[in-house]
Amino acid sequence: MKKYLLLFIFLFNYIDSFSQEPVRIIVNLEKGDEIGSPGSNVFEINKSISYHNDGIIIQSNETLIICGDLELSGSAVLSNAGNLILSGNLILSGSTSNGQNKFENSGNIIVGGNFQE
């Protein structure tokens, strides 16, 4: 019984590793710091950032400020329902393997530089 349980756990983790859920970088305090009052959902990143396989999800009540460029290459995607403010360029290159849109926006975007696709 124990070996079947271990086999089940291994198979579940193996299959789960193939599902690529977008990563919400705005809650990763190593890359983004919350500014304003605690719980205000306003985050700031003080450098240019580049992602190759991850995704960025900005929810409707969130604001992400990037002081630099944002580059999404490979299969990385951007889904914005909130506010995205960039002081530099927004660069989208590459394509997704499953036909998913590289860029989905129902929020507000301010780009200080160029929008490059």
pLDDT single digits (tens) 104-115: 888 999 999 998
Q: Reading across the β-sheet that carries 103-105, which strands appear in turn?
A: 55-58, 77-80, 103-105
The pLDDT-based confidence of 99 (bands split at 50, 70, 90) is: low
Q: What is the pLDDT of residue 24?
A: 46
Helices (H), the chain: 2-16
**Beta strand pairing status for 42-45 and 33-35?**
antiparallel
Tell me if 61 sits within 8 A of 83, measured CB to CB: no
Tens of pLDDT along 44-82? Answer: 888 888 877 777 888 888 888 888 999 888 877 888 888
User: Which of helix, strand or coil describes residue 80?
Assistant: strand
Of 14 and 102, the structure prediction assigns the larger pLDDT to 102
Q: Which residues pair with 7 in a beta bridge?
A: none
